[in-house]
A and B are shown apart, each in its own frame.
Chain A
Amino acid sequence: MSEFLTKSRARNIFYGGSLFFIGIFAVLSIDSHLYVVNESTSKAELTDEVVLGKHVWEKHACINCHTLHGEGAYFAPEVGNVMTRWGVLDDPDDAAETLGSWMEAQPSRIEGRRQMPFFDLTKEEVRGLSEFLRWADKTNTQDWPPNDAG
């Protein structure tokens, strides 16, 4: 490398440039935060049931088998659009009922098929979960996933 780029110049470029990009990232983060709150997730209300559902989701580490909006483990199906796949997106009661019977039917114990564990959930917890998944399904995810298979 040439004489122009001395070590101390390189160091100063590193410091200055990094601060510059941190600054831009901070501004875009604030804008994105507001966009999430005011636009992409504003169609469905963030109710207490949804929050309870998120806690149930976390308590059982569902993310370590499933993906949610495409993030997580790749062992089990995407659930960010499961309510659409089941056709119950706009019917809270039907959604909770369908999810409840699904959860109760686990594990399938079918030989050679991936197993989902049984989770001992209360009625409120099931309702919370289905509300959480309905809420997530209504988020504007820039039209992802490409189809209902998730």
Chain B
Amino acid sequence: MKYSSQKVAYAYFVAALGLFAIQVLGGLLAGWIYVAPNFLSELLPFNIVRMLHTNALIVWLLLGFFGAAYFIIPEESEREIHSVKLAYIQLIILVVGTLGAVVSYIMGIHEGREFLEQPLWVKVGILVAALIFLFNISMTVLKGRKTAITNILVIGLWALSLLWLFAFYNPDNLSLDKMYWWYVVHLWVEGTWELVMASILGFLMLKLTGVDREVIEKWLYIIVATALFSGILGTGHHYYWIGLPGYWQWIGSVFSTLEVIPFFLMMTFSFVMVWKGRKNHPNKAALLWSLGSATVAFFGAGVWGFLHTLHGVNFYSHGTQITAAHGHLAFFGAYVALNLAVFTYAMPMLKGRNPYNQVLNMGSFWLMTGGMSFMTFVLTFAGTIQTHMQRVVGEDFMSVQDQLTVFYIMRFGAGAAVVIGALLFIYSLLVPRKELFTETSGSKPVTGSSPEAQAVLEGGR
């Protein structure tokens, strides 16, 4: 770690990890309710559990992005963060807002649009925190060295914060409500967040592979160009059946198909950089998560997104378990795994130790990735049957669902693997001070004073 103010990232990452645990436990509970529907039904109904699950996800991903920005920007701008105090105030606002939201959901106090259920005061808190953040990083970037990585990161974060304003606009007309709701939801995950993802991935590749900055930055501009050129009009794939004009069926189908390109490029980019790079960075777990993120994002967002994005297909699959399958693998690959990659990369430096414990960390990668992939497969099977029985044959919703129980049991099993993986990940980052398993073959583990260990502590050579 080169700049002492990077340390604020640590607090952000720990808060994010706490919420990550809540998120997956909430998911597991929701999955259990699918299997045993009477469980807790009068104390904590499904809709409340689901809100906890999805909202915890969104907030911890944002906390991770903020933390990553505070970690990356000093190094890229070659100066300390403008104000460390503001960074902590921002975090306190976010944590208080989040805990407030959790408590009020459990008491049944919330707004009523999917993903945007936060009570108004929490929404305002998020806005204030975002403004503090934007001020803080913009001041840092403006005074420091300008790079494509910070440029894209800052544009992405500004744009996503501006789009948050649409969370405050809730027209009485349901179709208008839905149209603007997607300005937040779609233009986040298939627009602005992709900018954040690309720049963080670029930073990780720069550090982990040692490829020339010029090469990386040119790639980044091409990736984000294809992301926005396709993603903005790609919003149309949500405008087919909610009361908007018919022309969206063609615009949405064509442009959302093109949305596969940026995800394909990010995957290609990561592998090409590793291929070209001469550097043998000792933090293998961070590299695994980075490559894993780009790859699973391509499958979850690119392949599973394309699966149901053409309007002729979507007419039948819209709002079935196929959507849930895609949502899970896309979020996991693109944003969960990417955050875990940054945490894995930064934690050894933030805690001033060797990249311990890599074996456990990599084990958690395979558990989580395996679990999420399995979950995606079983939900896709369930969704295919549902689409056929309900949308083609016309059998009613509840009796079709009754026939899908076996898939929901398997989904629960997959979820349990993910939860174990997540807890293992958190443990491996925060607790062990030594590699638990010593190597039996190959190179010996780095020791405290070796040049490799020094490189990790300083953020690469």
Contact = CB atoms under 8 A, between A and B. Distances in A.
B235 A25 contact: yes
Chain A CB within 10 Å, residue with most, of B113, B235, B239: B113
B409 interface: no
Contact of B47 (A14, A64, A109): A64
Nearest to B39: A115
Interface residues of A, number: 72
Given A17-B229, A141-B243, A148 B112 contact: no
A22 B391 contact: no
B397 A150 contact: yes
A35 to B, nearest CB: 5
B51 interface: yes
B316 interface: yes
B233 A24 contact: yes
Chain B interface size, as a band, is 35 or more
A115 B45 contact: yes
B99 interface: no
A113 B396 CA distance: 14
A57 B391 contact: no
B110 A67 contact: no
Interface string B31-73: 0011001100110011110110000000000000000000000
Interface string A26-41: 0011011101110011
A145 B148 CA distance: 46
B449 interface: no
Contact of A46 (B113, B173, B235, B245): B173
Contacts of B391: 145-147, 149
Overall SS of chain B's interface: helix
B48 A74 contact: no
A21 B176 contact: no
Given A32-B179, A63-B112, A115-B45, A144 B172 contact: no
Given A61-B47, A117-B45, A72 B242 contact: no
A139 interface: yes
B185 to A, nearest CB: 10
Residue from A5, A28, A68, A141 whose CB has the most chain B CB atoms within 10 Å: A28
A134 to B, nearest CB: 12
A122 interface: no
A47 to B, nearest CB: 10
Given A65-B50, A115-B41, A117-B42, 9 more contacts: A13-B221, A14-B222, A24-B233, A32-B239, A54-B177, A75-B46, A107-B42, A113-B38, A139-B242
26 contacts: A5-B222, A18-B225, A18-B229, A21-B229, A28-B247, A29-B179, A36-B175, A41-B243, A46-B173, A63-B112, A65-B47, A70-B242, A74-B320, A75-B34, A75-B50, A107-B41, A114-B37, A115-B45, A117-B41, A117-B47, A136-B174, A139-B175, A144-B240, A145-B391, A147-B391, A150-B397
Interface of A: 1, 5-7, 10-11, 13-14, 17-18, 21-22, 24-25, 28-29, 31-33, 35-37, 40-41, 46, 50-51, 54-55, 57-65, 67-78, 107, 109, 111-115, 117, 132, 135-136, 139-142, 144-150
